[in-house]
Amino acid sequence: MPSRAISRSSISFGLVSIPVEVFSAIASKSVHFNLLHAKDNSRIQEKIYCIAEDKVIDQSELVHGFQIQKGKYVSFTNEELKRLESGAGREIEIEQFIAISEGDPVYFESSYLLGAEPGSAKAYHLLNAAMKKSERAALAKFVMRGKQHLVLIRPYGDVLMLHTMHYADEIRSVGEIDREARASVGASELKLAERLISDLSRDKFQANKFKDTYREKIVEEAEQKAAGEQVVPPTPAKAGKVIDLMSALKDSLRTSKRDSSNDNEESTSAKRSSSLKRSLRRAPRESRHVQNRRRAH
């Protein structure tokens, strides 16, 4: 568990209140870049510029502007926003419990771990156990970082995880991106697609099987450049345009079966190699037994 909590709160429902600490559940490993002046590789500095006065101004002169109509703003100071935030409840107020399967991932925004405060461990783990057994998640409201969030709390191993969520009016309608949604699907095409899905299906999600290859390439090239080595860009693969859907599905099935066959062959080869190693380890002992029998005769 991360050592430093980013917030403290309480899970409340009915007459129950469980003090908790909020920790970030994610440690991002994305590559980050700084903007440099290409001429001398020096860092650049961004300035705050006022168009009306045609001059650079200090950070302390800024306020938050809310646009009520085009070109017209009302302003809020940091103190005013803090007052509005403090007026909202600081507790994680559970409003209802739902089946875990009802939590559509499209609503999820960020993830946080909830840890029990000293003295609340029993109530915390009781809630976790009850939610696990009933396969339920909790919907609640929580004010964090100047915004009231809709959140979903669910069991995550021996702890509780909190997901901040988008509100319904923040999710775009599928009608906005409709692209020939009524295109017909043939029975034979559907059968082939189902077979391809079946061939590529796995029983469990193994997160450690997937790596950020883009980040690895960035780090590798950065090290090459730092060492003064010449970086040779790889030849990009050409993506062919799918003309015949049935042919594409059949080709995909053949590739899938070939890959599966190779995996099986590698597995069989590994088993044979392991068996051979065991036989070789036994061989000296067996030779000694044969020699002893010969001496006895």
Q: What is the CATH number of the domain that holds 145?
A: 2.40.290.10
In a domain, 194, yes or no: no
Tokens found for residue 11? 């899970």
Per-residue pLDDT in tens (0 to 9) along the chain, 297 residues: 556 888 889 999 888 899 999 999 988 888 889 999 999 999 998 899 999 999 999 998 999 999 999 989 999 988 888 777 655 557 899 999 999 989 899 999 999 999 999 889 999 999 999 999 999 999 999 888 777 889 999 999 999 999 999 999 999 887 777 666 667 888 888 888 888 888 888 888 888 888 888 888 888 888 888 888 888 887 776 766 656 767 777 777 787 777 666 655 555 555 555 554 454 444 444 444 444 444 444
Q: For residue 68, is it within any domain?
A: no
Check residue 10 and give its pLDDT: 92
Indicate whether 120 belongs to any domain.
yes
Q: Is residue 184 part of a domain?
A: no
Range of the domain at 120: 7-29+90-169
Q: What is the DSSP letter of 200?
A: T
Q: Are 189 and 245 in contact (CB under 8 A)?
A: yes
Q: By the 8 A CB rule, do 41 and 52 touch?
A: no
Residue 214 lies in a domain: no
Instruction: Say if 149 falls within a structural domain.
Output: yes
Burial of 163 from C-beta contacts in 10 A (0-12 / 13-18 / 19+):
buried
Residue written as token pair 């920790």: 23
- The count of structural domains within the chain is 1
131 lies in some domain: yes
85 part of a folded domain: no
Dihedral sign computed on CA atoms, order 239, 240, 244, 246: negative
